[in-house]
Structure 1
Amino acid sequence: MSSKKSLAISRNIVATDDHEYARMEMDSTEKAKRKDPFSPAKIRPTAKRQVTVSDGNEGMNAVLDAIKQLTEKVDTLGTQLQQNSTMLSSIAKAVEFNAAEIKDCKMQLQSAVRDVTAVKKDNAELMERVLELERYKRRWNLRIRGLKENDGEDIRVVVADLLVKISPSWSSSINQIVDSVHRIGRREGNITRHVIIQFTQRWHRDALWRMTKDHAICKELRISFIEDLCKADRRPELLCGPKLKKQEMLESGRSSEVVPVILMDRESLRST
């Protein structure tokens, strides 16, 4: 009985061992399958190409050539940058110099403007003074307009005879009354030039001027004695100003009380 039991137990042990062994084989097979990343259906990767010595040398030469070219470009760029820096420095100096010159020119221009303004002011004052002096000097003069001109005439003698006819009381002292007599400008064609008479005293000039206003000799010879105005006062707008003023006042309907004052002859104003 005991022998049978022991035989059965041994068989069970063997069966169990066989079962465990089979299980271990199955586990190892599954593990092996899990470790294998490639399945029979997938394409296996190609083997890596072995790098030879010649391939390595060519790669190194290409790298060295690239480094050499890059180094040359960097050197060229550095040279250009240095040249540009030098150029910019010179441009900056030129700009500073030009700015200083412009500032100096502005200061000189301002000074010149002030000087020109002062010179213009002084010139205007001097011109006015010269004009006043010329006007004052001409107050001793009278002009004869329309006096016939003959060849080879002695204009002083002609004018002296004319003045004696107008004022017989001057016959004995005409040479002391009249200082100088001459015609104005050059003779051109048949144009009758004006005659300038300069008196030694102003009251002689004013007295003669009053006598010639409506004198028969003047009407007979068709001559007139007029004021010797300077060029600035002979402008048309100054000479015709009173007449234009009268017309404007008449058109605007202003009072006629002030008209006689405005219509005063320039010659009368000069003689006062």
Structure 2
Amino acid sequence: IDAERYKRKWCLRLYGAPEAENEKVKVKVMEICKGVVPELTAKMSEAVDVAHRLGRLVVGRARAIIIPLALRWVRDIIWKRPKNSSYLEEHKLRFGEDLTKEEKASRALLCPYVQKACNEGKKAYFIGSKAFVDGREIVPEKNGYYLIPADFEA
């Protein structure tokens, strides 16, 4: 599982990109990435080795695109930059992490607690399958969530 998780950390998923017959997915992905991070235009052909659609074709619904990136630092910039990208907003696109089934299940369990913390004005976010509130990992409990102390070591 760790090998699969490591491999997936190099990938991003792109949602909302319209499909066209005989499309060149890699070219489309590179153009979108250049729109999000224009200063990396020169590195894009090196970073995006391949890209393809996921799943079966369903009429009227665009399939997600999986993008394995050859340069991890480029992947990290592309992942972080879209948070305020007008390009993605205008084109109704979004990037997502390539998560395992276990990570998706863990996030689904923790999501209500992260949402609650956000509603309380706290900084809450996910890193992989773990959730954090104000920089500290949380563990779900019956009556809410429990913050793991910052100095705790497993």
**TM superposition score category, shorter chain reference:** 0.7 to 0.9
The reply on whether 1:223 has 2:84 as its aligned counterpart is no
Q: Could you say which residue in structure 2 is the equivalent of 1:239? A: 108
Q: What is aligned with 1:193?
A: 63
Aligned amino acid, residue 134 of structure 1: E
Q: Which residue of 2 aligns with 1:264?
A: 125
Aligned residue for 1:180, secondary structure, equals coil
Inter-partner Cα distance in structure 2 for 1:205 and 1:246: 26
- What CA distance in whole angstroms lies between the structure 2 residues aligned with 1:173 and 1:246? 36
- Where 2:102 maps in the other structure, the secondary structure is helix
Residue 159 of structure 1 pairs with residue 39 of structure 2: no
Deviations 1:189-220 (A, max 9, x none): 22211111111121110111111111001100
Aligned to 2:78: 208
Percent identity between matched residues is 27
Task: Measure, in 2, the Cα distance between the counterparts of 1:208 and 1:241.
Answer: 25
CA-based RMSD: 2.7
Residue number in structure 1 paired with 2:40: 170
Partner of 1:180: 50
* Residues 185 and 242 (structure 1), Cα distance of their counterparts in 2 relative to 1, 3 Å cut: closer
Cα distance per residue 1:211-262 (max 9 Å; x no partner)? 1111001100111111110122223x623513246549x9xxxxx79x53xx
Question: What is residue 30 of structure 1 aligned with on the other side?
Answer: none
Distance 1:156 1:244 in 2: 37
**Which one has a larger percent strand, Structure 1 or Structure 2?**
2
Unaligned runs of 5+ in 1: 1-130, 251-255
8 Å Cα contact 2:15-2:93 kept in structure 1: yes
More helix, by proportion: 1
Which ranges in structure 2 are unaligned for 5 or more consecutive residues? 132-154
Q: Provide TM-score, normalisation by structure 1.
A: 0.43
Match of 2:16 among 132, 146, 150: 146
Q: Offset at 1:170?
A: 2.4
Consecutive aligned runs of 4 or more in structure 1 exceeding 3 Å deviation: 244-248
Q: Deviations over 1:154-193 (max 9, x none)?
A: 1111111111122222222321111211110121222211
Q: How does 1:116-155 map to 2 (within 5 A)?
A: 131-155=1-25
**CA shift in 2, pair 1:245/1:140, >3 Å:** closer
Q: Normalising by structure 2, report the TM-score.
A: 0.72
How many pairs are equivalent? Answer: 130
Give secondary structure in 1 for the equivalent of 2:62.
coil
CA deviations over 1:136-159 (Å, ceiling 9, x no partner): 111111111111111211111111
Larger Rg: 1
